[in-house]
Amino acid sequence: MSITGERDGQPGAGPQKVGIAITDVLTGMYASVAILAAITHRERTGQGQYIDAALLDTIVAFNANQISSFFTSGKVPVRWGNAHAQVVPYEVFPTADGHIILAVGNDSQFASFCQAAGCAELAQEHRFRTMSQRIVHRGELIPLITEVMRTRTKHEWIEALEAANVPCGPINNMKEVFEDPQVQHRQLRVDMPHPSGGMASVVRSPLRLSETPVEYRLAPPTLGQHNEEILKDLLGRSDADLKQLKAAGIV
């Protein structure tokens, strides 16, 4: 959170959390890698092992590039909001109907952007001609670009900038995500029949395996749906054990 949020001195400045439970999800992903490594070790040696997966370890490790910068320079990383510390303009801009991110990575891309945006004169100004100058004069350039970006819709900007080979992308809400043609082409939404009736929508796994593709056979279970199978078939509990657990309100 210390490196996420608007820059100090800007409206709304201060540490900010991300919009998803990123530490929980990442720890699960790291744990899956550890499990695969342990299985490989077991196949080679016949030995099992204990896996210690901590939320703290995961989120610290995930800050790899910022940590490397801190270790090598001794400078504490700061928040840059939606902007980039060394690349300008590289941040989110409002359009006529939403927001897009503009990622102008070099001087030729900046010239292409200015041409496509109808403000070619900006690319010729000494203050903005080179990346180093744009970084120095960030405070003067960004308001000018912000004013220009408000004149078209997200779709109009994406179409124009992609044609000019200027890196950019829309900021989509969840509804817009699943209306995106590429998301639909990749079939990232999977609708499955649910035991309670109707359909349950889930997100397709990003793991695409040619020989062992992920199968979608079971919808998300209802609460306690598989208690008996797990307790009796996997854990060897008897009917009496199961009855006792139910009576105690444990399952």
- What residues are annotated to the active site? 24
Instruction: Tell me the C-alpha distance between 191 and 206, whole Å.
Output: 16
Cα separation values, 52 from 31, 36, 42, 199, Å: 8, 14, 17, 37
